[in-house]
Amino acid sequence: MYKLILATRYLLKRRITYFAVLAVALCVFIVVVVMTVMTGLVGDFKEKNHDFAGDCVVSSESLVGFPYYEDYVGKLEASEAVEGVSAVIRSYGLLSPRGRDVNRGVEIMGIDPARHSRATGFGDTLHHRREDVAKAFVPSYDPNLPGCVLGIDLALERDSNGGYAYDSSPRRVGFSISCFPLTARGALAGAGTALANTKTFYYSDHSHSGLARVDDSIIYLPFDEAQALCGMAGATKRINAIHIKFKPNVKLQAGCEDVRRLWAIFKTEKANESQAYLLNTVAVQDWKVHRRTLIAAMEKEQMIMGAMFGFVGIVTVFIVLVVFYMLISHKSKDIGVLRSIGVSNVDIIELFGGFAFMVGLAGSGLGVLGGWQFLLRINSIERWLFAHFEFQVWDRTMFAIGDIPSEVSPKVLAVIVVSAIAACLIGALIPSWQAVRLRPVETLQVNQL
């Protein structure tokens, strides 16, 4: 009982305790805010990459691509694990708005929009044709023209809030697209007189994946057109990649194993074909591995941030330790008194442990509450700062990230609170352990800790 009374009194009556609570609260606040924003950003980025790639990608490193894919696609579609399969042409080309003498390099992706939507999140990135993905390449202003879907940053201007000025229907704009067709041996194929294949496509929609590198450089074309432009539509047709989505109950690695197994069978079957050597350039990867160059950079950042906040955590533990050390050194006389009236060491450690627990609980409670309230308002605060001082955490015209992530994860919170309380306990136990190891008289004499 006296333990409870004393611990509460120490908590309420000593001003230095308020500093301890405040120190804990501040550190918890910072860690909560940063961890939330950071995990939010990384999680969001990964999800967008996942949406872009699907679950599993079978692709060739080489721009030449690989042949005989129809058989393999057939095998995949027959598989229990697979929900959607999309064969894709990937290449590079030049894009120039018709009638203007400018061009820029773009990444070309030739897809069947309906199939690609079943294998990836493509359909949801569309604006005008989101509800009718099969018609993604049909310009609403003239259904007979060949359409193309532009990465949103190629099509629209981004404003300072990260928003776009959408049109109610796509404007009639034509783009001429030039490709450099390759033969199966990887040489430039001389189609016609020039080395490049050129064709005009009309803006039918744009795609907003949320990935800056994709949105400002990609152009989706109808599969057959892209195959022809890239010189892959000859007698032996080729593609560059197959994107696959698994059924919801299929585990990612198990699904990928299945895909790999089917690929091995397929490869053996085709071993004697004339272009079988191209099959050796193909790898089966899950989406994380396929997008690893991008994700790894982000994860590295997160790791460095994590390490930095690990240091903040260590500093917190140290601050808390110092505060408790001072507090308990100050109270070593009390420890002597308690022991002179027969209080056991265990009880004394419990007393200060309880006190530390209360400080930790109060501090992390305050910190979590503060962090949560701050995160609730973080985007309005940023908007206000931008309106009054033109300050933005990141420039929305450059980065394709809209709002600052502010969704608090209960798991992250729990980890932070538990660590904060543990830090307080450690901070309190070291000096109280030292105090009880002394003989009672020693603690009664002037502070010796």
Partner 1 sequence: MSDNDVVLKSKGLGKSYRMGATKVEVLKGLDLAVRRGEFVAIIGASGSGKSTLLHILGALDKPDKGTVSFEGRDLGRQSGRELNRFRNKMVGFVFQFYHLLDELSVLENVSLPTMASRSILGWFGCRRRAKKRAVELLVQLGLGERIKHKPYQLSGGERQRVAIARALMNKPDLLLADEPTGNLDSVTGNGILDVFEELNKAGQTIVMVTHDDRIAERAGRIITLADGKIRT
Single out the residue of 99, 248, 342, 410 in contact with partner 1 (rule: CB under 8 A): 342
- Region near partner 1 per CB under 8 A, out of 41-49, 183-191, 315-323, 343-351: 343-351
Single out the residue of 93, 123, 170, 336 in contact with partner 1 (rule: CB under 8 A): 336
Nearer to partner 1 by Cβ, of 269 and 347: the residue is 347
Q: Which of residues 222-281 bind partner 1 (CB under 8 A)?
A: none
Buried b (16+ CB within 10 A) or exposed e, 377-400: ebeeebeeeeeeeeebeeebeeeb
Alpha-helical (H) ranges within 291-397 are 292-330, 332-340, 345-389
Nearer to partner 1 by Cβ, of 31 and 338: the residue is 338
Single out the residue of 140, 217, 345, 406 in contact with partner 1 (rule: CB under 8 A): 345
Q: Does 338 bind partner 1 (CB under 8 A)?
A: yes
The DSSP output letter for 438 is S
- Output the smallest distance, CB 344 to partner 1, in A: 5
> Which among 54, 79, 52 is positioned nearest to 151, based on CA atoms?
52
- Output the smallest distance, CB 430 to partner 1, in A: 21
- Burial group, residue 105, by CB count within 10 angstroms (0-12, 13-18, 19+): exposed
Q: How far apart are CA 179 and CA 92, in angstroms?
A: 7
Q: Does 9 bind partner 1 (CB under 8 A)?
A: yes
Round to the nearest angstrom and report the end-to-end CA distance of the chain: 27
The secondary element (H helix, E strand) that includes residue 225 is helix 223-229
- Output the smallest distance, CB 444 to partner 1, in A: 7
Q: Does 448 bind partner 1 (CB under 8 A)?
A: no
Q: Does 333 bind partner 1 (CB under 8 A)?
A: yes
Q: How far apart are CA 121 and CA 83, in angstroms?
A: 13
Strands (E), 74-116: 82-97, 104-111
> Which among 270, 260, 225 is positioned nearest to 57, based on CA atoms?
260
Nearer to partner 1 by Cβ, of 30 and 337: the residue is 337
Q: Does 282 bind partner 1 (CB under 8 A)?
A: no
- Region near partner 1 per CB under 8 A, out of 4-12, 21-29, 60-68, 98-106: 4-12
> Which among 156, 188, 151 is positioned nearest to 171, based on CA atoms?
156
Q: Does 107 bind partner 1 (CB under 8 A)?
A: no
Amino acid at 268: T
Using left for φ > 0, alpha for ψ between -120 and 50, and beta otherwise, residue 9 falls in alpha
- Output the smallest distance, CB 355 to partner 1, in A: 11
- Region near partner 1 per CB under 8 A, out of 7-15, 104-112, 248-256, 363-371: 7-15
Check: CB of residue 198 under 8 Å from CB of residue 114: no
- Output the smallest distance, CB 3 to partner 1, in A: 9
Q: Does 426 bind partner 1 (CB under 8 A)?
A: no
Single out the residue of 268, 340, 373, 448 in contact with partner 1 (rule: CB under 8 A): 340
Residues that contact partner 1, how many (by CB under 8 A): 26
Nearer to partner 1 by Cβ, of 337 and 429: the residue is 337
Amino acid at 142: D
Binding residues for partner 1, per CB under 8 A?
A: 1-2, 4-6, 9-10, 13-14, 333-334, 336-345, 347, 439-441, 444
